[in-house]
Copies of this chain bind each other. A is one copy, B any other.
Amino acid sequence: MISDKMKELVKNNSVIREMFEEGKKLKKIYGEENVFDFSLGNPSTPVPSKVKDSIIELLENEKQNIIHGYTSNNGFEDVRDALAKSLNKKYNTNFKSDNFIMTVGAASGLNIVLKSILNKDEEVIVFAPYFSEYKCYIENYDGKIVVISPNEGNNFVPDLKELESKINNKTRGVIINNPNNPTGVVYDESFIKKLSEVLMKKEKELERDIYLISDEPYREIVFDGKEVPFITKYYKDTIVVYSYSKSLAIPGERIGYVIVQDEVKDSKDLITAITIANRVIGCVNAPSLMQKVVSKCTDITCDMNIYDKNRKLLYSKLKEYGFKCIKPEGAFYLFVKSPSEDDKEFASRAKKYNILVVPAYSFGCKGYVRIAYCTSFNTIEKSLKSFKKLAEEYGIYKK
């Protein structure tokens, strides 16, 4: 009944989504406030009031058949124009509306990019730990995922020697996710420069275009004054994939974009391909009203201090309780070493205390769990007692 490919996916259903569904069940039993659900990156920061204001303004002032109507497959032109102008101002880039394809979130953006560039058995490289959905997206188009090992010794900043050794005549692209999900690490300019050098060297050596696909849903979530380099400046064959899910706290609305800059070889053809891919995978166009909304919200984000407050408390307390984790510099995830070797065991022991975390084997990095601290501050506070008990159970909490 079910296709072989889907059977495989059903068997390995997303650990993150399973936790999310489990969380909903536990909340029904124990009450919302007694379940500490750190499984899903569902933002808790208030949606900026400008989102609501923009929707109402559009409903009051624009033609309903336009704001709810089909748009070009790459999106409203005025929307793409506004985004180009905003980014050019912010990052000193030189984009035009035609460089943009509005998408059904970043997930769909990645899919239409991969559909546009991948032939069967061609390879896409990811750095472990990596967002587990990348594997599905790549395999949707019969591509092969090639994993660069988690570089635990260097704060999970990837080993570029290993990258270089794994680029070959089948390599079509490399996905980076900066700030990183699930580690919270931010790759700095020096790393991006070195990464670009490796890619340029291999492009030349292999006489092959290698895309750097930069998945940036967490672009604006950085702490301690860290900066996220804007990748198109460093590497010509960059494709940017962005989502407003986190920056405006509207992940359910499925709105984002893809940028292909003019410097990419045959950029026009690639843009056409991605635009058509958007149509034929059935998205047709990014949700129309939300396209207009984000174009009115180009210069705002949620209050990211809320995440910073969560981060500071949870990180300091988990360290105090004896857990080992790297200090996140961006996104809203804590990557915590499992006190026992088996991250699944850790995750299910945590569940006894109504703490839901995602075992990191699903991110290609055993022995860790991911804690999405994009919850309310209250959830963090209330969860501490349970984390402490968990630490005591493992015997790692030294008073």
Contact = CB atoms under 8 A, between A and B. Distances in A.
Interface string A72-89: 110000000000000000
B252 A285 contact: yes
Contacts of A284: 105, 107-108, 251, 254
A250 B68 contact: yes
A108 B71 contact: no
A265 interface: yes
A283 interface: yes
The count of identical subunits is 2
Interface string A225-238: 00000000000000
Interface centre among A6, A46, A55, A289 (most CB of B within 10 A): A6
A356 interface: no
Contacts of A250: 68-69
A273 B64 contact: no
A191 interface: no
A200 interface: no
A96 to B, nearest CB: 17
Given A2-B273, A69-B249, A140-B281, 15 more contacts: A3-B115, A3-B119, A6-B115, A10-B272, A17-B73, A20-B70, A43-B65, A68-B251, A133-B279, A140-B280, A251-B284, A252-B288, A254-B285, A281-B282, A283-B283
